[in-house]
């Protein structure tokens, strides 16, 4: 009878850990989606503003300056966004793994 109780306890712990992991996964994926949507919106708005400035340029030099400024800002924004997403994905992995840490430590101690 003891092993049946142990199996029930193990099953409940496993289910709880899985549900916590799915909760963390859902929360992290939602944060990533919001971040991507915000970045896409800003990138579109910046591109539209740069295009408007480009059409309003009175000389070739001004057009090149507008285009260079836009590309520089777009690149810096991309690098910054990549770093943010890297952190969010790292957090996703850590938070999804957290509920299962006890299993890993138990398995390591059993050896």
What pLDDT, in 10s, does the model give residues 56-67?
999 999 999 999
- Say if CB 99 and CB 21 are below 8 A apart: yes
What pLDDT, in 10s, does the model give residues 5-23?
878 887 888 888 888 888 9
Q: What pTM did the predictor assign?
A: 0.73
Residue 96 backbone dihedrals phi, psi, to 5 degrees: -70, -30
Q: What span, in angstroms and rounded, lies between the C-alpha atoms of 40 and 60?
A: 29
Structure tokens at 102: 């006890």
What string of DSSP letters covers 12-60?
Answer: HHHHHHHHHHHHHHHHHHHHHHHHHHHHHHHHHHHHHHHHHHHHH-SSH
């Amino acid at each position: 009878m003891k092993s049946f109780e142990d199996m029930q306890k193990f099953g409940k712990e496993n289910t709880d850990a899985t549900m916590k992991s799915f909760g963390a996964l859902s929360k992290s994926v939602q944060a990533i989606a919001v971040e991507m949507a915000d970045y896409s919106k800003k990138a579109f708005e910046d591109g539209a503003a740069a295009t408007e400035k480009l059409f309003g340029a009175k000389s070739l030099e001004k057009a090149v300056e507008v285009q260079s400024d836009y590309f520089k800002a777009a690149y810096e924004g991309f690098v910054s966004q990549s770093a943010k997403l890297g952190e969010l994905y790292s957090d996703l992995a850590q938070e999804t793994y957290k509920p299962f840490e006890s299993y890993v430590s138990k398995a390591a101690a059993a050896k």
